[in-house]
Amino acid sequence: MQKKVIKIVHILEGFTGGLSTYACAVLPQLVQNGFDVTLVCSLKRSCPDVSKLISELRKTGVKVYTIPMARKINPFTDIYAFIIVLSLLLKNRFDIVHTHCSKAGVLGRLAAALTGVKIRLHSPHCFAFMRCGHRLTRLFYLFAEKLLGKLTTRFVAVSQSEAQVAINSNIAPYHKCVVVENGLSINKSSQNSALLSNIPASKVSLGFDKDTQIITTACRLVEYKGIFRFLEAARISNVPNVVFLIAGDGKLKTSAENFISENKLGDRVKLLGHISNMEEIYAISDVVVLCSDAEAQPYLLLEAMRAKCPIVATSVIGNKELISHEKTGFLVEPTPVSIATAIDKLLTCKNKRNELAENAYAYFCEHHTLEKQILKLIQVYKTCIGNENRQHATAKLSTEQPT
């Protein structure tokens, strides 16, 4: 008898930042491992090269449906998106529904429950209530997660700290949580080595003086990413001949431009916008910085580790799990002064930068390759399918017992 192919649908609200990295890295690998994989996502919040990325996903065998799902709560658009998701699940009869982030997590898990999909997985990628400043908003999101937790077969956290948040917040019991850490292909490290072979020339080719030291961050320009901490750190940093690069886009772009103008930082800070090929930027970066309020498991840090870049990161959930202070990077308080002080210390000590970079690369290779991530994820899927089959067989047997 031919083995049944497991049909999985991943549902995302946006296609940008870490979500797009996750989808483009993970989904083709699942197809290669024999799964039938579908992606349902919205393009309302997406990166500029989204059409190219979606096209490449389809070429790998991933089926892609785009729907009009928005991040903000809006009863009309949310109901419309929910109906579309509901109809897709009814039509395709998936074995597993795997949702990502808050909005897709709500609509996808509800639709899965209503259409009878027994295996409903959810990956928060940093719970919404950890990213909002307003207390009532936080409580609302937390309450919603607790309700939806009852509909969830497994929480597939990307870090141990994220799983612990789910347990401590009474969103899910311990036995419902599993950790599958983010990973990246190690193949690109060879590309980075080629770029690193002549850093001064690379700096010149990108428009910088060959002796300029480069500090880089890459993130969406939104509040919880701490972009103004980075800008303030650039203003108060004492090391001369340094340029601070910001790769990414978002709603705070205009505010960031105003800050740069008002503080006369035009020669010191550069807003790059969305960058498709970050490897070139990492290759010329003397330090990579992440200033977030909270993270799940940021791809920025994994990419910096793979590229052998020294790291400064705020000592917050998510970052602390990846960075061991003064071993694989500097962990600092989420204040501009702490960030600037750590940057200046690294810029004046090349030996320390080299030590941190090598240690971080070794840690990445041991714990965060894409191959390790895929093996763990496949095991989660197969375990869930096996458990469901056993429950189904037990239920069938009990109904067949003579009364």
Same fold for the domain at 7-183+369-400 and the one at 188-367? yes
Write the CA distances from 146 to 72, 86, 167, 353, integer angstroms.
20, 22, 10, 43
What sign does the dihedral 20-23-26-32 (CA atoms) show? negative
Which string of b and e fits 258-282 if b means at least 16 CB within 10 Å?
ebbeeeeeeebbbbeeebeebbbbb
In 4-141, where do the E strands start and end?
Answer: 7-12, 36-41, 63-66, 96-100, 119-123
The pLDDT tens digits along the chain (403 residues) read 457 899 999 999 999 999 999 999 999 999 999 999 999 999 988 988 999 999 999 999 999 999 999 988 899 999 999 999 999 999 999 999 999 999 999 999 999 999 999 999 999 999 988 887 788 888 999 999 999 999 999 999 999 999 999 999 999 999 999 999 999 998 765 455 555 556 777 788 778 888 899 999 999 999 999 999 999 999 999 999 999 999 999 999 999 999 999 999 999 999 999 998 899 999 999 999 999 999 999 999 999 999 999 999 999 999 999 999 999 999 999 999 999 999 999 999 999 999 999 999 999 999 999 999 999 999 999 999 998 888 766 666 555 555 4
Q: Which residue has the tokens 């400064």?
A: 312
Q: Give the containing element (helix H, strand E) for 311.
A: strand 311-314
Domain boundaries, the chain: 7-183+369-400, 188-367
Write the CA distances from 178 to 30, 85, 174, 181, 199, integer angstroms.
18, 25, 8, 10, 41
Identify the CATH class of 188-367: alpha beta
Res 208: pLDDT: 85
Q: How many CB atoms neighbour CB 124 within 10 A?
A: 24
Q: Which CATH number fits domain 7-183+369-400: 3.40.50.1980, 1.20.1440.80, 3.40.50.10490, 3.40.50.2000?
A: 3.40.50.2000
Q: Give the containing element (helix H, strand E) for 5.
A: none
